Amino acid sequence: MERCLACEAEGGLVERCLACEAEGVATPWSVGPTEYPRRFENRNMANLNHHNPANRRERERGLGLTSETASTVPTESASSGLAGSRQSEAASQARQRSTNLSVEMIGISKKFGGVQALKDVTFNVRPGEIHALVGENGAGKSTLMKVLSGAVRSDQGLIRIGGDDAEIVSPHAAHALGIRVIYQEMVLAPDLTVAENISLDRLGKVVDWAGIRAKAKAILTDLGFSVDPGELVRRLPVSLQQVVEVAKALSAETKVLVLDEPTAVLTPKDADRLLELVRTLARRGVSIIYISHRLEEVFAIADRVTVLKDGQTVATRNISDVTSSGLIDLMIGRPITQLFPRSNRTPGDEVLRVEDLRRDPSVKGISFGVRAREILGIAGSM
Ligand SMILES: Nc1ncnc2c1ncn2[C@@H]1O[C@H](COP(=O)(O)OP(=O)(O)O)[C@@H](O)[C@H]1O
Ligand SMILES: [Mg+2]
């Protein structure tokens, strides 16, 4: 195992140590295939629930939200066999400082033709926090994140990353700043392998195939998933494709990770796994921006929440200061008494009847009827 010569953090040999930012030494983040360190060994997912008061306190200390001194920040070194090492504790704190970045978006406006998608939006993310971004469809959430990730240029506004003004003119520029987005729609290459996808952005003319496979395997194992790096992405279930997206983001030096409706296509169980993964990343110091229309997810993982409506910022709140109905009121812009008010309709005659519909292998005899003026719900798991 290599060590950074400056701060002694463990890792493989690369240009710059992410723990202390010294050059020409090892780093715990960008590492060689066999040396990917198991930095945050706590696999007990129950302990990762940051609504557990102890964990929340721990994270708040990491976020600099409490007045306790840095020397009380718990480090992950205890489980990596270096317990008690003051040097590794210092390295861990240095890493925390260097990987956590704040995001400030100030006065962002964007028009698409006649549509004012964003109007003077202000949005701030603290280093290492999970910040939820919510709002009705068309509120401007995705556009705001596209501005942050360089996919869309804003007409007006300023972005500061880690306190420095940032010109994010392209996705490449965003990547260079450590900003990554995981969209709801897959952007993986389906006919490449898991390993090829994870290293795709960094493949040169000469590819160390064994190396990229080993690196992919190491990252996925570190995240707690067993996925064959040689498998074609299109053969994986959607949930594991999301995991590969996260692994891809982690294989680079990601400091700000945006997840735009990542659970929309997942089953509840897979969505839970993804949430655990998001918590793990936040504990590692990645700042997370989490877009979801599932408010229960927002309450489960977010530290703060910002509401957008019609392209404008409505409010930013600590998650502990809002209720679900309060959040919906902010999103809709008026108090609502019923989320889904019933209308008085009397269904008429049956206008459609389906009997014993079959199609191998998935449809095995389905029957239903629809009456005039009625809304028929069809439910089931994915
Ligand atoms: N490329 C585009 N061209 C034209 N209009 C767009 C484009 N992208 C988004 N919009 C419009 O901007 C508004 C905000 O959209 P979006 O950011 O996707 O909202 P959200 O993600 O909150 O649902 C919507 O009215 C949408 O139709
Ligand atoms: Mg959207």
Same domain for 292 and 197, yes or no, is yes
Q: Binning pLDDT at 50, 70 and 90, where does residue 364 land? A: very high
Domain boundary among 45, 75, 99: 99
Nearest to 336 by CA among 323, 345, 321, 318: 323
Give the residue, by CA position, lying nearest to ligand 1 atom 20: 138
Q: Looking at the domain assignment, is residue 338 inside a domain?
A: no
With a cut of 50, say whether residue 157 has pLDDT above it: yes
Same domain for 91 and 199, yes or no, is no
Domain span holding position 378: 343-382
Does the beta carbon of 142 lie inside 6 Å of ligand 1? yes
Q: Looking at the domain assignment, is residue 337 inside a domain?
A: no
Same domain for 10 and 130, yes or no, is no
Q: Give one word for 276, left, alpha or beta, with left for phi > 0 and alpha for psi -120 to 50.
A: alpha
Same domain for 185 and 236, yes or no, is yes
The pLDDT of residue 310: 95
The pLDDT of residue 284: 83
The CATH code of the domain that includes 161 is 3.40.50.300
3-class DSSP state for residue 120?
Answer: strand
Mean pLDDT calculated for residue range 250-266: 85
Q: Binning pLDDT at 50, 70 and 90, where does residue 78 land? A: very low
Does the beta carbon of 112 lie inside 6 Å of ligand 1? yes
Same domain for 93 and 162, yes or no, is no
Q: Considering only residues 320 and 379, tell me which one the structure prediction assigns the higher pLDDT.
A: 320
Same domain for 308 and 367, yes or no, is no
What is the 137 CA–ligand 1 centroid distance (Å)?
9
Weakest-pLDDT range from 85-89, 233-237, 263-267, 288-292: 85-89
Same domain for 175 and 275, yes or no, is yes
CA 153 → CA 147, 172, 216, 296, distances in Å? 6, 13, 33, 32
The pLDDT of residue 177: 93
Same domain for 122 and 217, yes or no, is yes
Same domain for 350 and 284, yes or no, is no
Does the beta carbon of 258 lie inside 6 Å of ligand 1? no
Does the beta carbon of 134 lie inside 6 Å of ligand 1? no
Does the beta carbon of 118 lie inside 6 Å of ligand 1? no
Edge-to-edge strand list for the sheet holding 156-161: 115-125, 103-112, 156-161, 164-165
Same domain for 60 and 89, yes or no, is yes
What is the 302 CA–ligand 1 centroid distance (Å)?
24
- Say what percent of the chain tops pLDDT 90: 42
Same domain for 169 and 313, yes or no, is yes
Q: Considering only residues 64 and 205, tell me which one the structure prediction assigns the higher pLDDT.
A: 205
Domain boundary among 99, 126, 145: 99
Would the pTM of this model clear 0.75, i.e. be above it?
no
Same domain for 118 and 29, yes or no, is no
Six token digits for residue 272:
């839970």
With a cut of 60, say whether residue 112 has pLDDT above it: yes
Are 26 and 9 in contact by the 8 Å Cβ rule? The answer is yes
Count the domains in the chain.
3
| DSSP-derived secondary structure letter, 223 | T
The pLDDT of residue 30: 33
What is the 169 CA–ligand 1 centroid distance (Å)?
19
Q: Looking at the domain assignment, is residue 107 inside a domain?
A: yes
What average pLDDT does the structure give for the chain? Answer: 77
Domain boundary among 63, 78, 99: 99
Nearest to 10 by CA among 23, 1, 20, 22: 1
With a cut of 50, say whether residue 197 has pLDDT above it: yes
| pLDDT tens column, 294-326 | 999 999 999 999 999 999 999 999 999 999 999
